[in-house]
Structure 1
Amino acid sequence: MHWVDKQEDFDRAAAEGKCVGFETNGTPMLGLPDGVEQEPILRIEVQDLSAKQLYFLKRELYQHFTYTEIRHLHTAKHSEIAMGLHGLRVLAQRLNELGIRNHIVHDL
């Protein structure tokens, strides 16, 4: 992987089919060449949550992840969760039932 911080470096690495890392809006991102499979991620949109929604969101997350994984998501200010596609669909459906906006992303 090659870390890039300028558009021309990104374009050059992409033209060479290299995997690149970069930062966007303070979040480290990974750019993969075409044809490289990626794990789908569940993106939970930034939104105001009621106390009930927050309680159930925590409960759902603790059923799928360890405390350390959740703490890392919070510390890094991530709202994206990577896991198997079936698990993501189940979790996304449950969050939809709770009125928590989310969507599954297959390509970054």
Structure 2
Amino acid sequence: MLLFGQPQGAPGGEAGKSNYSSLLFLLVLIVVFYLFFIRPQVKKTKDQKNFQESLAKGDNVITVGGIHGKILEVHETSVTIDTGGGAKLRVEKSALSMGTTAGQKDKK
């Protein structure tokens, strides 16, 4: 029968190895978490900011809601887009999908 207050294993060497392996496992877990979750999110945020700063008049864009348009005016935090048929919308820069004008600028 195993009791909680009862020491397990031989005193000395084995307990020290266990502590170091636990610490090593924790450090590896932190590094993996950083590489797979934190770093990609920081990169995505940086790319989104660069995209918003590079918007210019005449760029074709798609909003996150799926509305296609052409930029008529660029403001500090928003843009005015022409959706065709004389309709103009003013939307926040953060509401524009990143994959649209970036691909078109590479083709030019």
TM-score tier, shorter chain, comes to under 0.3
TM value normalised by structure 1: 0.22
Q: Which structure has more helix as a fraction of its residues?
A: 2
Instruction: Look at both structures and tell me which one has the larger radius of gyration over its CA atoms.
Output: 2
Q: TM-score, normalised by structure 2?
A: 0.22
Structure with more relative contact order (C-alpha pairs < 8 Å, separation 6 or more): 1
